Amino acid sequence: MSKVAVVEFEEYGSSVRRALDLIGAAEVLAQQERIMLKPNVINSSPHPITTHPDCVEAVIEYCRECSLAEIVVGEGCGERDTMDAFEMLGFCEVARRQDVRLVDLESEPEITLTQPGAKFLPEFHMPRILEDVFLIGVPVLKAHSMAQVTLGLKNMIGVCPARHYGGSHYRKSKLHCSNNSELHEAIVELNKYRKADLVLMDATVGMAEAHIWGPECDPHVNKIVAGFDVVAVDAVGCDLLGRNWRKIKHVRLADGELGDAQNVELLSG
């Protein structure tokens, strides 16, 4: 049974703390030497298209209270220079205030991993820094025009260097393959190489129809979601968007392979 915390949003500090406390995150974080937070910074558009910097700051503060680990914030922006996007969205100010390092995953040294039997990613060029960090995904709750949803699993596309996976119109376009079905399979293969160790999802607003355009959820979802099982968190996220996770191919394929979407214990408080 995968435990997923779903708490009402009041403000980021207290709500993030409640969600992480419910899943017992402090004990796990206390054992880490290096922690990376991976938000969704697809471009320089403000929240809810991208993760709110206040949400990331709340996670940093929680980690600091229970761990002596080095903390970094890493992303590979999908549509523009990552550090420019960090600056425009307020992440640089958070980094200065919290004394954490911002990492552009596009410029990090990389390693090449292989996966026998993989159809779309038989090898994967991964930023080396991801080898030895406890990875906290901090996605936003969004529908997606191709993948149907972009939550914890899809958020990992940001770690893929554009020099290998970019195209003429989008810095990660090769991963989006030639059709939507292939995109779902590529997401699962990517997460088999590296998935988040913990997910704290900013579900305070929600994008109802797509990831970079269209209406916000009405009413706003007003939740913070957390769990160690990214597949379980994504299943809950699908439900918050009014979608059946069994009809989202990458979540369905990941169920039983990368986590458990069918046996989820919801925690609230």
- Residue identified by tokens 């996670």 is 59
- Residue identified by tokens 């190489």 is 193
- pLDDT confidence of residue 166: 75
- pLDDT confidence of residue 130: 98
Give the CATH number of the domain where residue 263 resides.
Answer: 3.40.50.11440
Mean pLDDT, 10 residues at a time, the chain of 269 residues: 96 98 98 98 95 98 97 91 96 98 96 94 95 97 95 96 75 62 91 98 96 95 98 98 97 98 95
Measured CA to CA, the distance from residue 130 to residue 108 in angstroms comes to 10
Question: Which CA distances in Å does 223 have to 53, 195, 266?
Answer: 16, 23, 13
Helix (H) or strand (E) holding 268: none
Measured CA to CA, the distance from residue 50 to residue 45 in angstroms comes to 6
85 near 44, Cβ under 8 Å? yes
Name the residue range of residue 18's domain: 2-267
Number of domains within the chain: 1
- pLDDT confidence of residue 162: 87
Tokens of 143: 């529908």
DSSP 8-state class, residue 67: -
Tell me which amino acid residue 83 is: M
Measured CA to CA, the distance from residue 123 to residue 189 in angstroms comes to 10
165 near 100, Cβ under 8 Å? no
Tokens of 32: 């880490």
175 near 157, Cβ under 8 Å? yes
Region of 117 on the Ramachandran plot (φ > 0 left; ψ -120 to 50 alpha; else beta): left
Measured CA to CA, the distance from residue 33 to residue 118 in angstroms comes to 32
Region of 134 on the Ramachandran plot (φ > 0 left; ψ -120 to 50 alpha; else beta): beta
DSSP secondary structure string for all residues of 177-209 = -SSHHHHHHHHHHHHHH---SEEEEEEEEEESS
Burial zone of 155 (CB within 10 Å; 0-12 exposed, 13-18 middle, 19+ buried):
buried
Handedness of CA 87, 89, 94, 100 (dihedral sign): negative
- pLDDT confidence of residue 164: 86
Measured CA to CA, the distance from residue 2 to residue 262 in angstroms comes to 9
Kindly compute the dihedral angle of the four CA atoms of residues 242, 138, 92, 65, in this order, to the nearest 10 degrees.
Answer: 130
Tokens of 69: 């680990």
Nearest to 34 by CA among 110, 124, 136, 127: 136
Handedness of CA 226, 81, 54, 63 (dihedral sign): positive
- The widest CA-to-CA distance across the chain, in whole angstroms, is 46
